[in-house]
Amino acid sequence: MFDVSKIRNDFPMLRREKELIYLDNSATAFKPQSVIDAEKAYYTDFSANIHRGDYELSYRADQAYDGARKTLADFIHADTDEIIFTSGTTQGLNMAAYGLEKLIGEGDVILSTLAEHASNILPWFRLAERTGARVEFIPLEKDGHLSVENFRRALHERVRIVAVAQVTNVLGHCADIKEITRLAHEKGAVVVVDGAQSVPHKKVDVRDLDCDLLAFSGHKMCGPTGIGVLYGKMEILEKLEPMLLGGGANKRFSSHGDLILSRIPERFEAGTVPIAQAVGLAEAARYLQSLGMDSIEAYERELKQYLSGKLKELDNIEFYNPGSEAAICSFNVKGVFAQDAGTYLSSHNIAVRSGNHCAKMLVEHLGVDATVRASMYFYNTREEADRLVEVLKDCTLEKCIDIFL
C-alpha cells in the first residue's frame, strides 16, 4: 500500500506549508521535486530551441522534447505521433472544436452534458453557431452522473460529435467512455473526451477506450503549468484542421499562398513549443507511474469514501456527491454562502475552492449555483479529512461574519 508520509516528502510545497491542508487539487496539483528539477534542467543544461538548430545543444533539446512525447504516449497507451502538446485542456478542446468543423454541418448535433466545464462546452457552442449545428444535452441522472442508458436514448442519426468529461469536475462522476464510444461509433459520431480530471487520477488507456480525441492538462497531474496534451487517433488527426499556423507547422509555402503542412503531430504545434514544460510533464508522468495509477486511484477512492462517510454525518452540511468515484466532495454549509464557508476554512488553514468551478450550467441540474469543493490527491491524508470535518462542524453564519469583523 501507499506510504503517504514518504510521498509527501517529495513535494516542496507540502514540506514548506506544514500547517496548510491543500484540498484544491482539481484546480491544480503540487509538483514533486523531480518535476521541478527536470524543468530546471532544460533551462540550465540544454536550453535551445527544438527542430531548428544544427548544433549539439539543439539536438539535446530535440531528444528531450521528442522523448517527452514518447513518455506521454506510453502513459495513455497511444502512438507517439498521436500526442500533440498544447497549453492545457482548454487549448486541446478548442483545437478539437476548431479542427472538426469540416465534419459537421447544418442540422447536425453535438451531444454534451450540463456537467461540463466551460472549456468543454463553449468551443462547441461556437462551432454550432458557425456551422448551423446545435448542441443537445444528454439528461443526467438525479445524482448528476451520465448513465449509458441516458446516452443511448439521447443518441440519434444526426449526432456527429459527442463531447463529454470522463470525470466531472464538480461532482466527480466517472462516465463509461468505452461504452459511450462504442455506441457513438455505431452512429458514425466522433467522441471527444475531456480528460482533465481523469488522466491525473486513474489509468487512462486510449486504445482500450477507443475515443477519438482526449485532452488533459499537465498542471493537474503534478506537471508544470502551460502544458497539456491533445491525444488524437491518427485517422482523426488526418482530418483535423490545425487551429494555429506558423513556424514548425509547415513544410513549405510560397508568396502565392500555397502551403504544405508538416507531418502530424508537428502540424498542430505551430510556433516555439513549451519545451521545458514538456520535459517537466514527462517527469510528472514517470513520477505518477512510479506510484502506480491503479494504486493512486484505489487510495483516492478510499479517501473519498472516508471523507464522504464523515460529511454525511454532519447536520449542517448539504452534501451533493457522496456516491461519485473521484476524490472530490462538493457541499454547502447550510445557511452560509459557499465563498464565506471557503473563507472560514481558509482562516483555519484549509484551502478549498468555492463557486461554480467553471461548470456554470450545472446549476440547472443541481439547483445551487455555488458549492464548496474539497478535491483531494494521493498526497492527502485521513488526518486532513478529519481536520476538515472538525472545522466544518463549527462553521456557522455567525462565525463566518466574525472573520470579516
Ligand X SMILES: Cc1ncc(COP(=O)(O)O)c(C=O)c1O
Contact footprint for ligand X (CB under 6 A): 26-27, 88-90, 117, 119-120, 165, 169, 194, 196-197, 217
Beta strands (DSSP E) in 233-343 are 250-253, 259-261, 317-319, 328-333
Tell me how far the alpha carbon of residue 151 is from its chain's centroid: 22
160 phi, psi to nearest 5 deg: -105, -30
Q: Scanning the structure block, which residue is given the C-alpha cell 506521454?
A: 72
Of residues 61 and 68, the one with the C-beta less far from ligand X: 68
Of residues 61 and 191, the one with the C-beta less far from ligand X: 191
Bridge partners of 231, per DSSP, are 83, 214
Name the nearest CA neighbour of 21 among 393, 299, 376.
376
| Pairing of β 371-375 and β 353-355 | antiparallel
Which residue in 211, 222, 329, 358 is the catalytic one? 358
Evaluate whether 86 touches 92 at the Cβ level (below 8 Å). Answer: yes
DSSP state of 241: P
400 noted as active-site residue:
no
Name the nearest CA neighbour of 269 among 69, 70, 124, 130.
69
Q: Quick count: other Cβ atoms within 10 Å of Cβ 256?
A: 6
Note the helical H segments in 168-250. Answer: 177-186, 206-209, 234-237
Of residues 226 and 248, the one with the C-beta less far from ligand X: 226
Q: Quick count: other Cβ atoms within 10 Å of Cβ 364?
A: 11
Q: Is residue 73 within a helix (H) or strand (E), and if so which, with residue range?
A: helix 56-76
Of residues 88 and 242, the one with the C-beta less far from ligand X: 88
Task: Give least dist CB 157 to ligand X, A.
Answer: 28
Cα angle for residues 59, 65, 68 (degrees, 5° grid): 140
Q: What is the biggest distance separating any 2 CA atoms in the chain, rounded to whole angstroms?
A: 71
Rounded to whole angstroms, how far apart are CA atoms 71 and 6? 25
Rounded to whole angstroms, how far apart are CA atoms 376 and 373? 10
Q: Return the active site residues.
A: 358
